Structure 1
């Protein structure tokens, strides 16, 4: 799911605010509709009872034809609102689950916890950036270029990374460090070649960076590293 839902209970009703996780823009309407439809279908399949929407408030304007909305949601509709809010009947949460089994429930709960943990890791913007850097060796774009690749502004990218308690430079350094160690341990590339792949104009700059990352020398990771590499000039 590419949206994030935040819920609260008030006056016997269950309010869900559907937030945009990936700056979808005009595509947000489809994400909202998908989220609500899936929620209704999943709940109905678990209880074999209807799971109706009581009200629907959305940020986008009303379509020319409201018939599909009324047929699908059959509730009061409010368009061009400040937030995307869907209202459910809190009493529906008391409906028993059909064919409930305690052992099966425990198994499913453990599996769901694992899936949620994996999804949270995948959804981190910092991980998406790391994956790009690893899959494109030799390419270490600036923050502005990376933001363009992610279809967002550089300020937006910085703001998202602040939420994940990391900077773009830290991601670059961490990725370069891990790649450098892998190259040193599992390839025959020279330090000069590795430094060039990682975006350094000279092996001396690469050595200094590696020392700042690991507090170790290149020779600590490669026993046959030649001292002659130390003499490479910029």
Structure 2
């Protein structure tokens, strides 16, 4: 019988807590804008009310990734309330797909910016070059108010993550300029963006060596389909050549469940010993059970929100032996029953 504990470990046991609580509050405000209660989702991400109120508090990348993905599905808005109209689930994946056939990174980023401008007119993105540097620029055309910081950071980090992923290269930043005053957590920007960071700039932009624009793309449609299973990694974590064991395990669990019934089968599929599998996952701050729960949870959430399939059928598809055990596990993961989760989808 699958475990029903929440799949997220405590912040102390999985990586460093680096993400400012201000970004969590911005996500919570997107819920309240829609008349929805954010606390079941925040609680499932192991964010306590007291922690939520502390300005200096932070969460881990894993918590932020899970929280953002869940909120995007529940709100059906990949922009998380930044813009006057929603960006439905799949919008950012569509942008990457439209850039995938470009001959070079420069062409791909130009397409990405141009197509993003078709999705919303609240911000304008463009790619420029000067003095040997390339610049991904963000111009605010509608007052984003309290969401300015979260939107700017998220969009720019996503653009950089896409560029790194398309070329399978870690692209170092030469400078970051941001069109807002230093926030109370300004010291955390050394984690969010490498290189010098300037606040109160005329407009926001990322700058890097223009030579990267000539790199060929190294991804295809199959790689895109795999990446889209956890596209938020491009935004919430620095690019690390997506070959970590955690990602390989997640992909195997999602695509080859027949090889993941137990640790021995999974280790054999990955050409590892079970001991090595557990040890390397621990070194990367994860456990096999956590990853199993995470993959099941994400698959279940997607099926509940995107289809009208019966709960019993969804339970079987995500690997549960019966509907009752699935409902108990899902309630443990999200704080809601599958029916409540499905009904909470905004109209």
| TM-score bracket, shorter-length normalisation | 0.3 to 0.5
TM-score (ref. length: structure 1): 0.46
Determine which structure has more spread, i.e. the larger CA radius of gyration.
1
Higher relative contact order (CA 8 A, sep 6+): 2
